[in-house]
Amino acid sequence: MAREPGRRGFLGFSLSLLTGAKTALAHGFHAAFTVIEQNASNGSLEIIHRLFTQDLDLALTARTGRERMLDDPAAEALVEEYLGERFALKSGDGRALKIDWVGMTVSVDTVMVYEEVRTPGDLAGLIVANQILAETHPQQVNTVNVTLGDRTKTVIFQADDPPQTIAF
């Protein structure tokens, strides 16, 4: 007859988490999420990246050799530069789109980054490249949702994936 874990099992589980705090705080998967939406009022593309704080901190530490980069007052400039190298958009005719930095917010577990493309031009075949965090986490999975009007398409990137075209 199977027994339910009860209080003793719960306490044992809780203590195992406390004694292995570093392991307990780490997460077992590496993913980033990007949402790209066209602003109906002005046609711009609004971009939001959601990244795990711990993963981005590790990537910035690997780049600079200094730990706890997101606590640094210069973190925004570092994150902007990093994303500029790891994430890109091109219009349907292959023209690189200029991504403007809007800002970011950092919490204990999540970094939200806000960017914008003011004049995207032809979006019939938007080309997306996304290798965010893939250099530090070979199993990284990056999901990008693109919404134009009332239609949404999703593309998924893993390490070393080439850019993908999203046709609407």
- For the stretch 87-140, pLDDT in tens is 999 998 899 999 999 999 999 999 999 999 998 888 889 999 999 999 999 999
- Average of per-residue pLDDT across 152-162: 97
What mean pLDDT, rounded, does the chain reach? Answer: 84
* 25 Cβ contact list (under 8 Å, min separation 6): 54
Confidence of residue 27 (pLDDT cuts 50, 70, 90): low
CB crowding 85-101: b at 16 or more within 10 Å, else e: ebbbbbbbeeeebebeb
CA dihedral 90, 129, 111, 31 (to 10 degrees): 150
Q: Whole-angstrom Cα distance, residue 82 to residue 133?
A: 9
CA dihedral 14, 140, 151, 100 (to 10 degrees): 110
- 40-49 pLDDT, tens digit per residue, is 899 899 999 9
**Domain boundary assignment for the chain:** 30-167
pTM over 0.85: no
| Residue 66 predicted with pLDDT over 90 | no
| Residue 20 predicted with pLDDT over 90 | no
